[in-house]
Structure formats: structure tokens, C-alpha cells
Amino acid sequence: MDSSREALLARLHDADRHGRFHAFAAHTQGGDCVIVHSKVTIIDDRMLRVGSTNLNNRSFGFDTECDVAIEAYDEAGHQQERAAIVSFRNRLIGHFLGCDEVEFAKAVTENGSISNAIRALSGPAGRLRAFERKTPGWFSSFVARWHLGDPFGSEDAWRPWKRNAERAKLDWSQRASRIGASVQS
């Protein structure tokens, strides 16, 4: 899945016209990358998702996954949910940086953004480091292009050549509805 992750990160980076996309990886004190299997998504301090779903075809159509999400609307009466999401975010990132929730929140305020706070508290050789953009080799490109190990469903599990044709048939709204249906079921 490393090849697919690298391709996805490259696509997200290329699509980021405003310089807002940041991806970090946890590292040991000795500098080795830590593979964290849990999946957490926090969007605009309004949505928190924790679960087993990966951002790939396999999770959205082939495997059985379980996620829980909390959404805090902008309307009055949802401040408590939003505060809980921010608190969770600060505790989680602080954990990987070796600081507490309050210290991380203070760093966000002082540095103007979450990514700047991470860089300030982590330093160049810290426990959270920005993903380095790598140019994939021929094998990694091949694996990512053909979605090897990443079927849409059981019908193409053993026919990877069908995946690009299947993907090409779907426009973005169909992909989104397919993902939504898979996540809800």
C-alpha cells in the first residue's frame, strides 16, 4: 500500500493551490518511521472520524470496515462537540510531539496554524516529520497505476486490468456516492 499512498499524497500535493495540504508521519526517537495502523480524520475542527477504513478501493468496496464519526455543525448549540473535537486533536498531536493538549493548543495560537505548530514543537529531527515527496520507481508506479492489492470489489479482485476501465467509467459524483454507500453500509 506504500505505492498507493505515495501516489495519493502526490496527487493531493499537486492539487493544493493554496499550500494548505500537509502530511506528517510519526518517528521514533531513533528516527525510524512508525507505522500507525489507526485511522483518524479531523476536518476543519468540525468532523472527527475514527475507524478502520483506509482511503482506498479495498476499504470502500471489498473489506468490511467500521468507523464512527462526530460532526459539529456551525449552528448554536454545537460548541461542546466542536470543543471536544479540538481537544481530541490537540491531545492526539501533542501525544506524538511529547507535549500535552494545552501546550499544543498554545503552539497553534502562537504559530498561526497546526502545521506550523507541529514544525515548531517537533524540529527538523522530531517525532512528527513532514512526509518527504518521493519520485516513485517503475515498480511502485506500476503497482499504483493498476491498483494491485486494491480491488473495487470481489468482481475485480483477481482481474486488476479491469480496475482502470472501471475507474474510468465513474465520474466524480459516482465515485463519491459509491464511497458514501460503502461507508454507510
Which residues of the chain register pLDDT less than 70?
1-4, 55-62, 124-125, 146-185
Give domain limits for the chain. 24-130
- Per-residue pLDDT at 138: 78
- Per-residue pLDDT at 82: 92
- Per-residue pLDDT at 30: 84
- Per-residue pLDDT at 118: 94
Interatomic CA distance for residues 165 and 5, integer angstroms? 21
- Per-residue pLDDT at 64: 76
Interatomic CA distance for residues 109 and 40, integer angstroms? 23
Q: How far is CA 15 from CA 18, 68, 81, 143, in A?
A: 9, 28, 30, 22
- Measured distance between the N- and C-terminal CA atoms of the chain, rounded to whole angstroms: 24
Cell numbers 460503502: residue: 182
pLDDT tens, residue by residue, 89-133: 999 999 989 899 999 999 999 999 999 999 999 876 678 888 877
- Per-residue pLDDT at 158: 61
- Per-residue pLDDT at 38: 77
- Per-residue pLDDT at 174: 55
- Per-residue pLDDT at 66: 84
